Structure 1
Amino acid sequence: ARAAREACGDDAVAVTAVSASLASGERDQAEALARQIGIRHVVIETGEFDNPDYLKNEPNRCYFCKTELYNQLEQLLPRLDVDVIANGANVDDRGDHRPGMVAADEHAVRSPLLEVGINKQDVRDLAQHWDLPVWDKPAMPCLSSRIAYGVGVTTERVRRVDAAESFLRTEFELTEFRVRHEANELARIEVPVDQLPRLLDPANRQAITTRFRELGFAFVTIDLEGFRSGSLNSVVSIDDLQVLGD
């Protein structure tokens, strides 16, 4: 958003999409950042939770979410007096399973950071140079991405994940971690390996188990392999990747 403000001045508009999949506090942070940057900021509500294809939570789930987002943004363009939709995809995003990029291509969405060869570290370096408080903020993908493929996305499940992560963030001051929602209401907690002994401490383990069961999880587990961004994509097969190409 800061780069867009630098390049386009008052013509730039930042948009935050709000739905049940947005983690607690993210909207407030987006609004505060937009004020600091001095960019016009619009908040819209997206309806991906009304789409059965999204709720099925197959490996192409993100395609339906981004399609909903870009459809809404296209309708906003005349009112905002904006000609181009741009996203924040960067070079590093090309190395992962990103069905949302297909939706971007279908809607002629530009990816300026990717187009000029900027990667995630470059983005952080620029944000630090501009004194933006989010320069070292851990990635915060949507809450639906915590739910294992094939396990239906529901408002109840994403709220459960959100509450569980808020608990770990507050009580244990964790920053880079995930609560994965597997089948049979099983929680799989991923934290950096050096944090494993802390969570496995008997008193902490009991506190986590008690709180997670209060939230509706039937089973509570800690992943011994530690935190891995996008770990649920490790089970995506080549056949799954053909879904959007059929």
Structure 2
Amino acid sequence: MDQLHEKYENLKVYLKSLGSVAVAFSSGVDSTFLLKVAHDVLGDKAIAVTAASCSFPERELNEAKKFCAENDIQHIVCESEELDIDGFRQNPKNRCYLCKHELFEKVWNIAKENGLNAVAEGSNMDDNGDYRPGLVAVKELGVSSPLRAAELNKQEIRELSKELGLSTWNKQSFACLSSRFVYGETINEEKLGMVEKAEQLLLDLGFYQVRVRIHDKMARIEILPSEFEKLLAEGIREKVYNYFKELGFTYVTLDLGGYRTGSMNEILH
């Protein structure tokens, strides 16, 4: 057995040892793969829990509902409004910790109400490098990280997802919309809506990996460098600029560094 499939078998053994689990499900690459394998191993003893909030695009929520319906997986959607968490709107450096702590407390409550032994989330080995205060909350609350336990990284998860026939195998990486804000800049419903609509336009135009970072009323677009030419093409450039202005952005810029995860964390180094 090759190393990849050995890790896959180890993941199944780990999940089986949990006995039953509530998977925090965002419909992203990692949590979709985790939920699929958990359901394959545990059947009805694995359920999905998705938190609905204004930091979570409607597109992603609809995909989560569709996946669970198609795979006959019990799916519970709970309200988890980050903006109601004390201190969250001020966007401190531990914002992700505040959010994840509240979220996983809710998922644990749902797990217990349904007689389940464990809560699991989808972080992988690649998440160990960046600044991830949310993982502190994971550890504090005794949440399982099966993909890290099996030592799977993002590329391996994509490969296994493709083998399992999951359409998410080549889905874009995604993070909550609050991650688009500079630390210390107030997060509110209006600006979250601006970011969601701006990114949706870029996705609708066919850009693969997108982030619209918000700096007060300035939009900083991050896309793959290979797609710069497409964005700057006549017709596309004007469409993006005009739509962003309609949304309320004063300035619309392209980040020449291109798309990268955690770019708002660069000021921390």
TM-score, normalized by length of structure 2?
0.84
Residue of 77, 98, 118 corresponding to 1:43: 77
Counterpart for residue 80 of structure 1: 114
> Given that residues 218 and 252 in structure 2 are in contact (C-alpha distance below 8 angstroms), is that contact kept between their aligned partners in structure 1?
yes
Aligned counterpart, 1:152? 186
**1:190 pairs with one of 219, 222, 225:** 222
Which runs of structure 2 are paired with 1:204-219 in the superposition (5 Å)?
Answer: 204-219=236-251
* Counterpart position of 1:110: 144
Distance 1:76 1:207 in 2: 44
Distance 2:36 2:234 in 1: 46
Distance in 2 (alpha carbons) for counterparts of 1:236 and 1:221? 22
Range with bigger deviation, 195-204 or 48-57 = 195-204
Q: What is the distance in 1 between the residues matched to 2:227 and 2:111? A: 46
What TM-score do the two structures reach when normalised by structure 1? 0.91
Gaps of 5+ in 2: 1-34
Higher mean C-alpha displacement, 57-66 vs 29-38: 29-38
Higher mean C-alpha deviation, range 208-217 or range 36-45:
36-45
CA-based RMSD of the aligned residues comes to 1.3
Deviation at 1:80, TM superposition (A): 1.3
CA–CA separation in structure 1 for the residues paired with 2:112 and 2:92 = 34
- Paired AA for residue 83 in structure 2: F
Match in the other structure for 2:210: 177
Structure 1 residue 201: Cα displacement: 3.0
Q: How many pairs does the alignment contain?
A: 235
Runs of 4 or more consecutive aligned structure 1 residues displaced over 3 Å after TM superposition: none
2:214 is paired with a residue whose SS is strand
Q: Contact 1:57–1:151 at 8 Å: present in 2 too? A: yes
Check whether the contact 2:107–2:119 (CA below 8 A) recurs between aligned residues: yes
In the TM superposition, residue 192 of structure 1 has moved relative to its aligned partner by 1.2
Find the aligned partners of 1:211 and 1:101 in 2 and give their Cα distance.
36
Q: Distance in 2 between matches of 1:78 and 1:58?
A: 31
Report the secondary structure of 1:173's partner residue.
coil
Match of 1:59 among 93, 98, 101: 93
- Say which SS state the counterpart of residue 220 (structure 1) adopts: strand
Quote the Cα distance in structure 2 between the aligned partners of 1:100 and 1:8. Answer: 27
Unaligned runs of 5+ in 1: 238-246
Counterpart contact for 2:52–2:79, Cα < 8 Å: yes
* 2: CA distance, partners of 1:86 / 1:22: 19
Identity %: 37
Whole-Å Cα distance in 2 between the matches of residues 228 and 205 of structure 1? 21
C-alpha distance in 1 between matches for 2:38 and 2:235: 48
Quote how far apart the aligned CAs of 1:77 are. 2.2
Residue 78 of structure 1: CA displacement? 2.6
Read off the aligned partner of 1:70 and give its amino acid letter.
Answer: F
1:12 Cα offset (Å) = 0.4
Conserved in 1, the CA contact under 8 Å of 2:182 and 2:214?
Answer: yes
User: In structure 1, what residue type is equivalent to 2:87?
Assistant: D
Instruction: Kindly provide the amino acid, as one letter, of the partner of residue 22 in structure 1.
Output: F
Partner SS for 1:85 = strand
Structure 2 CA distance for aligned equivalents of residues 137 and 30 of structure 1 = 13
Alpha-carbon contact 2:52-2:81 (below 8 Å) kept: no
Maintained 8 Å contact 1:47/1:68: no
Equivalent residue, structure 2, for 1:241 = none
